[in-house]
Amino acid sequence: VRFGADGPIVEAARGATILDAARAAGFFIDSLCGGDGHCGKCRVVVREGNVSGGAAAPLTPEEIAQGFALACLARIEDDALIDIPERSLLREPAPHSGDLRVSRGAGFADEGAVAELDPLVRRLSLRVATPTLENNAADFDRLETAARAALPPNAAIRADLDVLRALPAALRLSDGAVSVTVAWSEGSYRILEIAPAEAVASNLAVALDVGTTTLAAHLVDLTTGATLAAALRYNGQAAYGADVIRRIIWCDSENGGLERLQGITAADVNAMIEDMCEKAGHPREEITAIAAAGNTTMIHLLLGVTPRWIRREPYTGAMRQPPPVRASGVGLAIHPAGLLYCLPSVSGFVGADITAGVMACGLDVGGAVRMLVDIGTNGEIVIGNKDWMVAASASAGPAFEGAGNRDGMRATAGAIDHVGGLAADGALRFTAIGGAPPVGFCGTAYVDLLAELLRAAVMDKAGKFNAAAGSDRLRENSDGTPEFVVVRAGESGAERDLAITRDDVANLMRAKAAIYAAIKVLLRSVGLRFDDIEEVLVAGAFGAFLDMPNAVSIGLLPDLPAARLRFAGNTSLQGAKMAALSVGHYNRARRIADKMTYFELSTDPNFMDEFAAACFFPHTHIEEFPSVRSGRGASGVLSRQDNVKCKMRNEKPRMRAHKA
């Protein structure tokens, strides 16, 4: 199979999908549905050769006639020449979710700083007593005495057989002056390595957020706390499904599927590590630990543990707190004895990313009741303080991640991320990531669009387009569905109009309703009102650029004063970094996970009632949104809160103005 007229030729087994063959050739084709043949993201053009089965529903008869096929369904029967359209390829992620700043100090206060360095792995420079007839304690015992003095009081120190085998020679090679690498593991420090003192190397760790869509990592110096480099990368598993459910199904349905997804993530992480090490000028063998957070399914896949039962009622994972494991044992290339520490999860759908987020936001500190909302395909919500915490996960669907909508896309180059102006001055403005001609909308753009359409009364509170508004951008598309055109074909990089359809609005309504309903149910479960919540922290890739007033005005977030709504950035990554830098925080994460009471919403009748009530903009009960009712909250168009973080972008956002 050849990809592109001048492209590479790869061997593919007869019957292999074009998706797999393209992957083997190094092309990452987007696949939101994970090979189910209904998202239509993976369209390719078969120029020559024999391919079967790719002419499926998302493609129009015209497209099929032009040779378009779905790469996930099309199977290779013979030599073929395939073209991959630009928009079918996964692009580099924009740095929405991971702050790429590096620091010289002990981290920023807002991204995983710790009051005191007490890293998971330490390199101790020890002077082990030379044995004498008066003190002829065994080698390990003398080493232990020296190490104890360099470690927190009462720390137990353990050595495996390989270390004991190396110990006698190591101690005598340098007359007792040794560098000992110890790692916190299950309540004691375990010796990873003993080297002569002169051989002292840096002691680095990787903080890792394994997102379903995007991986983010920081390279940190465990001796100083400094962040030396950062990396961001799409999760290569995306080719097998956009969300965790599709990944689990794929994993289950294929022989060796689990090993494949595990291997993909290991390769992704290794690539990020290589990238960061190159930037920072350190060999990867100086990395002695990886602290990882992520949702429960991602952590299972990272470790090669089947997530199969997470998707089936009653949604149980294999474990909440994985033990530290040799990184090399799961294919991660750092120091050969280095460890992978995964933070603990709470349940199948409240993962280590949430535990890490709670820690990063300090929800577990102080008496004030606060709320963390992490919006993705699932919206996870935690409410609590130092004494108690409740958590729930609402299946919001991928609408806010750009998936499932006609012109929805990930937050990559070409995605419109903000829209404004419609109601205020009639000039429709938008920003697109990377400055390229826009090819679709990412989640934040949809939030803005809905708010704008409501304000301009182009859409009513039930989500119906209002033809009476007289907008020339309102029309019916070819299958008779009403839609609102945002970008005309001439301005679009997709060579067609970019619009939001009635069905898109319905998807987005369901998504925001699910999240709001979850907040309501959780709040009621602890007998509190919105007013009792001192602060709402919005986390995740989505949260980083979300326009808060718009999110309130469509009823996604509760109507609280602006000062009490705060972006928190990638709290999963921040929490992972805190754990890497501090045994105390690593242990604290476990206490947080243990403390959280999980509410299962999928079978909760209250949740269904609240969901139904929330299927309105902003809500059936408008009294819950006093600022929206009074119009106070509708002034936030394209204005960002002062405390927006992570503004750094590859390129400045481009602002384009159109007459509405």
In contact, 448 and 547? CB cutoff 8 Å: yes
Q: What is the rounded CA–CA span in Å between residue 426 and residue 385?
A: 45
Comparing CB distances to a second copy, the nearer of 195 and 644 is: 195
CB of 177 to a second copy, least distance (A): 17
Between 31 and 297, name the residue whose CB sits nearer to a second copy: 297
649: number of Cβ within 10 Å:
17
CB atoms under 10 Å from CB of 116, counted, come to 10
In angstroms, give the least distance from the CB of 566 to a second copy: 31
CA quadruple 597, 603, 606, 611: dihedral sign: positive
- In angstroms, the CA 303 to CA 322 distance is 9
What is the Cα–Cα distance from 322 to 335, expressed in whole angstroms? 20
In the bound state with a second copy, the residue whose beta carbon lies nearer, of 186 and 198, is 186
CA distances from 118 to 147, 206, 555, 572, 585 (A): 15, 15, 43, 20, 9
Q: For 648, how many CA atoms within 13 A lie in the half-sphere containing its CB?
A: 10
- Of 234 and 611, which has the nearer Cβ to a second copy? 611
Smallest distance from a second copy to CB 432, Å = 42
Q: 143 phi and psi, to 5 degrees?
A: -60, -45
Q: Which is nearer to a second copy, 326 or 649 (CB)?
A: 326
Note whether 347 and 315 are within 8 A (CB). yes
| Type of residue at 607 | F
CB of 320 to a second copy, least distance (A): 5
The closest alpha carbon to 540, from 557, 528, 554, 564, belongs to 557
Three-state SS annotation for 14-68: CCCEHHHHHHHCCCCECCCCCCCCCCCCCEEEEEEEEEECCCCCCCCHHHHHCCE
Least Å distance, CB 487 to a second copy, is: 45
Q: Which is nearer to a second copy, 141 or 651 (CB)?
A: 141
Tell me how far, at minimum, the Cβ of 330 lies from a second copy, in Å.
8
Q: Quick one: 222 or 301, whose CB is closer to a second copy?
A: 301
Q: Which distant-in-sequence residues (6+ apart) come within 8 Å of 463 by Cβ?
A: 502, 505, 506, 509, 616, 617
- Is the Cβ of residue 137 or residue 655 nearer to a second copy in the bound state? 137
Q: Which is nearer to a second copy, 542 or 586 (CB)?
A: 586
Alpha carbon of 471 to those of 244, 460, 468, 475: distances in Å? 39, 14, 8, 9
Interface residues toward a second copy, by CB under 8 A: 131-133, 136-142, 158-161, 164-165, 167-169, 172, 186-188, 303-306, 308-309, 313-320, 322-323, 325, 329-330, 345, 347-348, 600, 603
Which burial class, exposed, middle or buried, applies to 177 when counting CB atoms under 10 A from its CB (0-12, 13-18, 19+)?
A: middle
CB of 10 to a second copy, least distance (A): 32
Q: How far is the CB of 135 from a second copy (least distance, A)?
A: 8
Nearest CA to 45 out of 26, 25, 28, 59 is that of 59
513/495 Cα distance (integer angstroms): 33
Distance in Å, CB of 584 to a second copy, minimum:
20
Least Cβ distance, residue 581 to a second copy (angstroms): 24
In the complex with a second copy, the residue whose CB is nearer, 33 or 269, is 269
